Each structure stands twice: as structure tokens, then as C-alpha cells.
């Protein structure tokens, strides 16, 4: 399924039905009074968060949505039936913005949350409403009100327990595939991942949701490479797994480059809990691994884990470590 994380859509709630100007007409009743019923309320447009969605692709080919109009009132004081509400499903993590794409009006953070995006118009009054002691045969009735209508933006920020970050080709997709049942595209070149991939890992009957965030390069905060488009997906994660290719010549620079881009985008990202993992330990010998890790930890002052996606034991250890960051 293709990934789409921002759309602009037009929503129009239904109009209310018109009231009825009806008069009672029955045999042997010469002067029947007014018996016009009210119009029904127009349908509203309601957004609902859905757990099984992770993209806004459904809105790519249809941008206009209109709810049903309320039915007109009728004789015998019958109120018109209300128009059916229109429900639009969105992924958890979707934010709703006004047409300026800056003013946030709702943020979906949990499953089955509902937000009435456009309210249907009220039904009009039938002539019965206008009957009085001085006006026993009113012909007056009112039309239904117009439903709300406007353009809105939907923006998706992936919600995951752990976000896997790092430079391109660090092995993020391979690690996600090893930790979960996800099947991301994997190849040995930069920017294999051009969309966030989600996967669910199970460990000790506990569930961990992970997101493979596309690789960050220098200038990402200004839009270089895949840039800002995907930096925003990190904001929702409870913790970050910073994956580094241990075969790189300068591990410290690789680490600081990603951290620098995150900080330039938002200083809040640097406050998140971080798990540093050196990947591809099968490519170099043990002595070199120990030397590189010691040098890294002396300067960065943070401990790191090691793994290889080919080693099931190390992958299992990573899973158990992640539980400490999501419980």
C-alpha cells in the first residue's frame, strides 16, 4: 500500500430539510388547522480514528465529501428524517488543520476517537410552529439551514513506541524485519526506505510498535533528501532506537550528524529516551568491535548495544531491552 501523510479535502455537511406548509384536509372537517411538520437535520461529517490504517492514501483520489440532506417535513405533523452522518476513517496519529494548514483543530491519539468536522444544518419549521391565538391558519414555514462546509488538511504523524533512526543504509529496515513481522523493502543502497514502515514485535506477551524512519542526512531539517517530511514522524515516538553501522569509519560523526539534524528540527527530539545500537557486527572482528565501542562510549558518554540481523540471539536481546522503554 502506498504511503501518504498529508491531504487537503473539502467537506460539506448536509442541509436541513424544509418545514411543511401543510393544512389538515379530512372529510367532514371543513376548517382543518395547520399540520406541517419540521424538516429533518442534515447529516454531519465525522472523522473516526482507525487502528488498522497507517496512510491517508484513501483520500488521494477523492477530495470532496458531502453528507446527506435532511428530508422535508410533511402533513400530519410528520418531521422529516434526518440525513445520515458521513463517517470518514483516518489513521491514529492524524491531525486536523484548518485551511491555512497551521491552525490545529483536532489530534487523533487513540483508537475510535471521533471528531465532528462539519455539523449538519438544522431542519426548518413547519407551519404548525407558527400557529397562535391570533393566527390560526399560518402559511409560514422555514427552509432548512445550510450545513457547514470548508477545506481542511489532514496530516499524519506516525505513532509508534520506538522509532528506528539513523543514516541511510544503517540497516534499519533489516532490523525492523528481524524484530517484527513487517516486510519492508531492503537493499544495499541509500534511501531504500522512502516511507515510514510500521511493525509490531511481541516479547513476553507484550506488544511493541516500531517505526522504521527513512534515513536522515545533512540538511534534512531544511528538506534535503527526505528531510522534514519524515522528521515529523519521530515526534510521536516514546523512545528512539539510534542504529549505527559499526563498519563506518567515523562512528562518532555518524551519531552526531543524525542528532544535529534532529536538534535543528526540534530540540524536543533530543530529550527523548535513546537506545544506541551498533549494527552489522558480523562484518568486522571482535577486537575491532570492542575498540570502536570503547572509543565511542568514552566521548559520547552513553552505553551502546550491538546486534546483527543475522544473529537471532542479539535480536532477541534487543527486543527485551526495548520493553524497558515502553512499559
pLDDT tens readout for residues 209-267: 888 877 564 544 444 444 455 677 788 888 999 999 999 889 999 999 889 888 888 88
pLDDT value of residue 189: 41
3-state SS string for the chain: CCCCCEEEEEEECCCCCCCCCCECCECCECCCCECCCCCCCCCCEEEEEECCCCCCHHHCCCCEEECCCCCCCECCCECCCCCCCEEEEEECCEEEECCCCCCEEEECCCCCCEEEEECCCCCCCCHHHHCCCCCCCCCCCCCCCCCCEEEEEEEECCCCCEEEECCCCCCHHHHHHHHCCCCCCCCCCCCCCCCCEEEEEEECCEEEEEEECCCCCCCHHHCCCCHHHHHHHHHHCCEEEEEEECCCCCHHHHHHHHHHHHHHHCHHHHHCEEEEEEECHHHCCHHHHHHHHHHHHHHHCCCEEECCCCCHHHHHHHHHHHHHHHC
State the fold for domain 1-156. Answer: Spo0b-associated Gtp-binding Protein; Chain: A, (2.70.210)
Q: In what order do the strands lie in the sheet with 149-156?
A: 64-66, 6-12, 149-156, 94-97, 104-107
- CA–CA distances in Å: residue 209 to residues 125, 196, 236, 237: 52, 12, 12, 9
Cell numbers of 197, please?
514502515
Percent of the chain with pLDDT over 90: 51
Cell numbers of 313, please?
540471539
State the fold for domain 162-326. Answer: Rossmann fold (3.40.50)
Distance CA(187)–CA(221), nearest Å, equals: 25
Percent of the chain with pLDDT over 70: 88
Query: pTM of the predicted model, to two decimals?
Result: 0.71
Domain boundaries, the chain: 1-156, 162-326
pLDDT at 182 > cutoff 60:
no
Reported as a pLDDT band with limits 50, 70 and 90, residue 8 is very high
pLDDT value of residue 2: 52
Amino acid at each position: 500500500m502506498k504511503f501518504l501523510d498529508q491531504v487537503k479535502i473539502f467537506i460539506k455537511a448536509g442541509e436541513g430539510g424544509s418545514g411543511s406548509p401543510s393544512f389538515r384536509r379530512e372529510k367532514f372537517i371543513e376548517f382543518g388547522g395547520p399540520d406541517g411538520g419540521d424538516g429533518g437535520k442534515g447529516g454531519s461529517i465525522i472523522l473516526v480514528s482507525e487502528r488498522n490504517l497507517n496512510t491517508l492514501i484513501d483520500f488521494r483520489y477523492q477530495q470532496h465529501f458531502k453528507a446527506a440532506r435532511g428530508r422535508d417535513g410533511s402533513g400530519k405533523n410528520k418531521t422529516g428524517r434526518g440525513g445520515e452522518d458521513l463517517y470518514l476513517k483516518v489513521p491514529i496519529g492524524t491531525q486536523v488543520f484548518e485551511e491555512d494548514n497551521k491552525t490545529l483543530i483536532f489530534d487523533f491519539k487513540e483508537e475510535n476517537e471521533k471528531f465532528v468536522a462539519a455539523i449538519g444544518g438544522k431542519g426548518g419549521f413547519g407551519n404548525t410552529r407558527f400557529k397562535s391565538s391570533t393566527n390560526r391558519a399560518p402559511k409560514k414555514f422555514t427552509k432548512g439551514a445550510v450545513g457547514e462546509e470548508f477545506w481542511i488538511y489532514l496530516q499524519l504523524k506516525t505513532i509508534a513506541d520506538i522509532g528506528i533512526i539513523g543514516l541511510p543504509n544503517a540497516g534499519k529496515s533489516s532490523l525492523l524485519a528481524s524484530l517484527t513481522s513487517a516486510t519492508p523493502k531492503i537493499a544495499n543502497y541509500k534511501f531504500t526506505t522512502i516511507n515510514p514502515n510500521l511493525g509490531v514485535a511481541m516479547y513476553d506477551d507484550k506488544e511493541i510498535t516500531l517505526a522504521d524512519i527513512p534515513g536522515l542526512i545533512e540538511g534534512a531539517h531544511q528538506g534535503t533528501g527526505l528531510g522534514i517530511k519524515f522528521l515529523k514522524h519521530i515526534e510521536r515516538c516514546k523512545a528512539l532506537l539510534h542504529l549505527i553501522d559499526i563498519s563506518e569509519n567515523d562512528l562518532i560523526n555518524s551519531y552526531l550528524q543524525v542528532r544535529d539534524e534532529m536538534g535543528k528540527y526540534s530540540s524536543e527530539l533530543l530529550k527523548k529516551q535513546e537506545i544506541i545500537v551498533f549494527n552489522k557486527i558480523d562484518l568486522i572482528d571482535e577486537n575491532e568491535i570492542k575498540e570502536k565501542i570503547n572509543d565511542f562510549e568514552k566521548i559520547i558518554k552513553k552505553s551502546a548495544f550491538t546486534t546483527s540481523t543475522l544473529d537471532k540471539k542479539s535480536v532477541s536481546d534487543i527486543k527485551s531491552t526495548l520493553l524497558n522503554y515502553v512499559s
